[in-house]
């Protein structure tokens, strides 16, 4: 059976001071203690290890071979211990750690992108892992503790124990080719889109499941003719005249050649929400939430 050593780290620090100074008096002064207890601590360590660490002469001290090996190992061990404790302190202050962040792709084209970028820059020792998932999948992962934070659009009643906070008001717009007849309208009724072809992202990676329900509430099921994984591909297809789509207003802040955005007559909210479990939140998560909500 492997022997378990119960040596106190203090004993190693006392030993290392003597090993580096090769003088009990100077080592004691360095440790802000008197020489007699220091000598007793070193003898205690030698007793625990069953070997001499120093050759003691009347006016000098020398390391044995075992002492030389322990000096190098003690340096590595104490340095590693200090690094570990410093990292734990950073985690406790929210300055280090890991955050599994669930997000819908459209949120990354909003102000959230700038806020999270600022957070990452201010907290370089926090590893933020982005996981693009639908709201339903994010909630499931939050419940299983596989996500720390979820960000999605539309108000959702979260599972008991989870907190939902609205980060930003937004709305869905109609994106259409620049030569579409409805471009002349200042605002468009959702029902006027019932005979249009739609280009969308898959429901598993976007807000489209929610938008599909919105269309059904307006009295029609959208005719989806194309799907693309990336939102820029969806808008490229719109520009090519393959169909129209509903997109969050953050996309209208950028120039998409051949694409025109128009608001809906009845606002369809695309508000962004952050969802998390306050009781399970680490200091890093709490800092991220505070940054998001403050902005």
- Closest C-alpha among 217, 216, 174, 219 to residue 198: 174
Low-confidence ranges of the chain (pLDDT < 50): none
Q: What is the CATH number of domain 171-269?
A: 3.40.190.10
Q: Rounded to whole angstroms, what are the CA distances from 119 to 67, 110, 124, 231?
A: 47, 15, 8, 25
pLDDT, position 243: 96
0.85 surpassed by pTM: no
Chosen CATH of 9-93 out of 3.40.640.10, 3.40.50.1370, 3.90.1300.10, 1.10.10.10: 1.10.10.10
From-to residues of CATH 1.10.10.10 in the chain: 9-93
pLDDT tens figures, 267-294: 999 899 999 998 989 989 999 999 999 8
Q: Where are the strands (E) in the chain, listed by range?
A: 54-56, 61-63, 96-103, 125-132, 149-153, 163-168, 172-177, 197-200, 223-227, 245-248, 259-263, 272-276
Q: How far apart are CA 200 and CA 264, in angstroms?
A: 18
pLDDT, position 231: 85
Per DSSP bridges, beta strands 96-103 and 245-248 are unpaired
From-to residues of CATH 3.40.190.10 in the chain: 97-169+272-294, 171-269
- What is the second-level CATH architecture of the domain 97-169+272-294? 3-Layer(aba) Sandwich (3.40)
pLDDT, position 204: 65
């Amino acid at each position: 059976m492997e022997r378990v050593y119960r040596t106190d780290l203090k004993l190693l620090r006392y030993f290392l001071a003597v090993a580096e100074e090769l003088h009990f008096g100077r080592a004691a002064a360095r440790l802000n203690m008197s020489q007699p207890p220091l000598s007793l601590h070193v003898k205690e360590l030698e007793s625990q290890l069953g070997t001499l660490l120093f050759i003691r002469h009347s006016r000098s001290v020398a390391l044995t071979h075992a002492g030389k090996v322990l000096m190098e190992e003690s340096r590595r061990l104490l340095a590693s211990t200090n690094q570990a404790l410093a990292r734990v302190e950073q985690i406790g202050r929210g300055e280090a750690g890991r955050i599994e962040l669930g997000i819908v792709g459209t949120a990354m084209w909003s102000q959230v992108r700038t806020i999270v970028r600022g957070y990452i820059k201010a907290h370089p020792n926090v590893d933020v892992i982005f996981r693009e998932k639908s709201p339903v999948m994010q909630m499931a992962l939050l419940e299983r503790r596989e996500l720390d934070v979820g960000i999605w659009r539309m108000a959702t009643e979260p599972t008991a124990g989870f907190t939902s906070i609205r980060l930003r008001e937004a709305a869905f717009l109609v994106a259409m080719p620049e030569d579409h007849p409805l471009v002349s309208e200042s605002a468009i009724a959702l029902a006027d889109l019932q005979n249009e072809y739609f280009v969308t992202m898959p429901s598993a990676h976007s807000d489209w499941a929610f938008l599909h329900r919105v269309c059904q509430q307006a009295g029609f099921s959208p005719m989806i003719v194309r799907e693309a994984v990336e939102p820029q591909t969806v808008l490229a297809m719109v520009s090519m005249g393959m169909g129209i789509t509903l997109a969050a207003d953050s996309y209208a802040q950028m120039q998409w050649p051949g694409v025109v955005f128009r608001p809906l007559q009845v606002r369809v909210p695309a508000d962004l929400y952050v969802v998390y479990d306050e009781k399970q939140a680490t200091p890093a998560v709490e800092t991220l939430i505070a940054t998001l909500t403050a902005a």
